[in-house]
Amino acid sequence: MRSERLAVVRVYLGSDHAGFVLKSRLIEWLTQAGHEPIDCGPDAERDDDDYPPYVMRAANSAVGDPGSLGIVIGGSGNGEAIAANKIRGVRAAIAWSEETAQLARLHNNANVLSLGARMYPVADAVSFARVFIETPFSGESRHARRLAEITGYEATGELPALPAEA
C-alpha cells in the first residue's frame, strides 16, 4: 500500500442516459477517494437524453480548468469521445482496460477519459478511472513531440510535416 497521499483532482463528468448509472457510481467513488467530482449532467436518467450537451460541457470544463480531468460516459464511449474531442485542447481517450487507461495518460497526456457503460462491469470502469486519475504524463520527448504536432494542428489547421525520407 502506498504511503503518500495522491493530490485531490477535480473531475468533470458528463453522460447520456446509458451512462447515467455509471456516472453516479463514479461520482460516489471519486468523493470517497477524496477527489472533487463536478456533475455536468444529466441530473436524472431519461431515455431521450443526447450526450453532446453534457459530454461537451464536461470536456470544455476540464480543458478550461488546468490540473483537472474529465470523464464522459455513454453506452460504448465512442460517441462521447468523438464529441469531447471536438473541444479545442481536449485529448479524450477510450479505455477498455487498466492498461489503456494508463497509456492514455502516460503517453498521450489525455485529459478526458471516455467509458462505455455497456462494455464492462462497473467495478472495471471504476478501476479504469482510478488508473487514469493516478497516472501522470511521462513527459518523454517522443510523446511531447507528438502532442506538440497535434496542438500545432489545432492552432493553425496545418497538417504536421511528413518525416524526411531516408
What per-residue confidence (pLDDT) applies to 49? 87
Buried b (16+ CB within 10 A) or exposed e, 28-43: ebbeebebebbbbbbe
What pTM was estimated for this model as a whole? 0.94
What per-residue confidence (pLDDT) applies to 4? 52
What per-residue confidence (pLDDT) applies to 5? 53
What per-residue confidence (pLDDT) applies to 48? 86
| Short-list 70, 71, 72, 145, CA closest to 107 | 145
Instruction: Please answer whether residues 60 and 33 qualify as being in contact, where contact means their C-beta atoms are separated by less than 8 angstroms.
Output: no
What per-residue confidence (pLDDT) applies to 2? 43
C-alpha cell at 153: 494542428
Domain locations in the chain as residue ranges: 10-156
Q: pLDDT per position in the chain (166 positions), as tens?
A: 444 556 999 999 999 999 999 999 999 999 999 999 999 999 999 988 899 999 999 999 999 999 999 999 999 999 999 999 999 999 999 999 999 999 999 999 999 999 999 999 999 999 999 999 999 999 999 999 999 999 999 999 999 999 987 5
Say which of 45, 98, 107, 134 is annotated catalytic.
107
Known catalytic membership, residue 143: no
Known catalytic membership, residue 107: yes
The domain made up of 10-156 is a member of CATH 3.40.50.410: no
